[in-house]
Chains A and B, each alone.
Chain A
Amino acid sequence: MRSIINYLKDIFWGVMSLLKGLKVTASYFWRPGAIVTEKYPENRKYLVMFERCKGELIMPHNDKNEHNCISCGICQMSCPNGSIEVIPKTIDTEDGKKKRILDKHIYRLGQCTFCGLCVKNCPTHALAFSTKFEHAVFNKALLIKVLNKPGSQLKKGVEQ
């Protein structure tokens, strides 16, 4: 007799525990504010990322198409997986001296692990992370980017 009572008790408390769980899930029908689904591809236009979000590496240029990079190569040295390559060139300045300026700043997005050491170590703050995070491309070659824009120059006043 006792075993039957215990058996029924087990069934009762088992069902109760299931109902308790169901109560929680059912309560969300009456709390639509608690639902947090992001409708991602649809909300693309008004999606705001956090400002520090490490999307991809960029070299900020101002209105006059000038950047801060002095082609010192510290970013290339601090990069752990060789995703940055700085190609400098030497030009003759007006006063007859030779000057080392940036020719190409190559960034291989496919290799980047977003550790942020290049941005942190840059002495002239020439690099930054943009919040663009949609990197999918059909051609692998498109992942190799040249960060300095064509015809861009070193900003005046940035020390070499």
Chain B
Amino acid sequence: MEEKAKDIITDEQQEYIINIGPQHPSTHGVMRLVVSLKGEFVLNVEPHIGYIHRGIEKMCESLTYPQIIHLTDRMDYLSAHINNEAVCLAVEKALEVDIPDRVKVIRTLMSELTRIQSHELFWASYGMDLGGQTCYFYGLRDREMVLDIFEETTGGRMIVSYNCPGGVMYDLHPNFRKRVKEFIKHFRKVLPEYDDILTNNVIFHGRTVGIGPLPLKEAIAYGITGPSGRASGFSCDVRKHEPYSAYDRVKFNEVLFTEGDSYHRYLARVEEMRESMDIIEQLIDNIPEGPYAVKMKPVIKLPEGEYYQRVETARGELGVFIISDGNKLPYRVKFRTPNFANLSVLNHLVKGFKIADLIAIFGSLDFVIPDIDR
């Protein structure tokens, strides 16, 4: 009799394990979360990755340097241009090429536009994850203007493939300046609407304030970069600390908060859109004249050695590590992707919170799954 009672008790205390994904709308891609629950509370989360693994790093070993660039579009597809830029900067660093000012400014402008459209999509999808369907329509509506700018200049909407070692593929479209100014004017007007709809909403506050706090020490220990890290007070903006392209000639603030909860991770991204607009406004009227690319050799061979370049994508620090043996193909390419590092903290953050908060925390870290799997 006593034993039976014990069994019942242990049955009640047993963990209840469910799968979220791989085809779940709130994982924004193909990722499986194995969640152990006790009642409604999360005990443990185990992310199972690899559903969209394509072996990009291995593929790079059989491609020449200009060919690698189009693969990096497919890692973090929302910051495609910044990924392209990272590889180009690494190759240019290795070859010690002087890049014209015009190229630097073009790259910076495009990077910031990429950042804005990425954060807009974050805003849209985060709102939808937490039950605000309207956000999704408004976010995508404004993002469309940036995508049009990309399409006019580069020919691609998300997958831009605009960089090449030594510069960019084509010159800016004559309409570029006009369209960007139109967009900034429109977006300055619309951003307060975003605040009215979502940032100041009482339900949104209830779902995010104090949910999944990440102290500064742990953010550094886990290597959380990007807006998620800066929400915890980790000053990790590569644009500020190790300026590349034209970031050394613009003035902007690094958005820093100390709370580190879901709400501030969200807020850091919204504030970053404002900073990005400031950067674009500083540069758009003084794009220097000159060539849009340096003439490179038809076959690019890097001198033997190891090269590393880091850039700030919309989600954090992307590092490109190339080992060259002097051939036209790289010996090894390694991408330090921000999403993979940020994923490691998920289990730590959600412990003790409810399963609905798991969605809020997962959304606030803003994952792009192909970037995790590569």
Point out residues on A near B: beta carbons under 8 Å.
13-15, 17-18, 20-21, 23-25, 36, 50, 52-54, 78, 80, 113-117, 120, 129
- The answer to whether A17 and B155 touch across the interface, beta carbons within 8 angstroms, is no
Given A36-B144, A53-B155, A115-B161, A21-B196 contact (CB < 8 Å): yes
0/1 interface trace, chain B 120-139, chain A, CB 8 Å (1 if under) = 00000000000000100000
- Number of residues from B at the complex interface, CB < 8 A: 31
Given A78-B67, A129-B155, A23-B161 contact (CB < 8 Å): no
Distance in Å from the Cβ of B369 to the closest Cβ of chain A?
19
Given A18-B201, A53-B151, A120-B164, A115-B170 contact (CB < 8 Å): no
With A and B bound together, what is the CA distance between A82 and B164 in angstroms? 19
- The answer to whether B197 and A21 touch across the interface, beta carbons within 8 angstroms, is yes
- The answer to whether B173 and A20 touch across the interface, beta carbons within 8 angstroms, is no
In the complex, chain B residues whose CB is within 8 Å of the CB of A120: 164, 169
- The answer to whether A113 and B70 touch across the interface, beta carbons within 8 angstroms, is yes
22 interchain pairs (CB within 8 A)?
A13-B202, A17-B200, A17-B202, A18-B202, A21-B196, A21-B201, A24-B193, A36-B141, A50-B152, A52-B155, A52-B173, A80-B63, A80-B70, A113-B159, A114-B156, A114-B161, A115-B67, A115-B70, A116-B155, A116-B169, A117-B67, A117-B70
With A and B bound together, what is the CA distance between A54 and B155 in angstroms? 5
Distance in Å from the Cβ of A124 to the closest Cβ of chain B?
15
User: Total A-B residue pairs with C-beta atoms closer than 8 Å?
Assistant: 66
Chain A residue nearest to B186 (CB atoms) is A34
Point out residues on B near A: beta carbons under 8 Å.
63, 66-67, 69-71, 74, 134, 141, 144, 148, 151-156, 159, 161, 164, 169-170, 173, 193, 196-198, 200-203
With A and B bound together, what is the CA distance between A6 and B193 in angstroms? 28
Having A21-B198, A52-B151, one finds 18 other A-B pairs with CB under 8 Å, namely A17-B201, A20-B200, A21-B196, A24-B196, A24-B197, A50-B152, A50-B155, A52-B152, A52-B154, A53-B151, A53-B155, A78-B66, A80-B70, A113-B74, A114-B161, A115-B161, A117-B70, A120-B164
In the complex, chain A residues whose CB is within 8 Å of the CB of B67: 78, 80, 115, 117
- The answer to whether A115 and B69 touch across the interface, beta carbons within 8 angstroms, is yes
Q: Choose one: A25, A52, A114, A117; the contact of B153 (CB below 8 Å).
A: A52
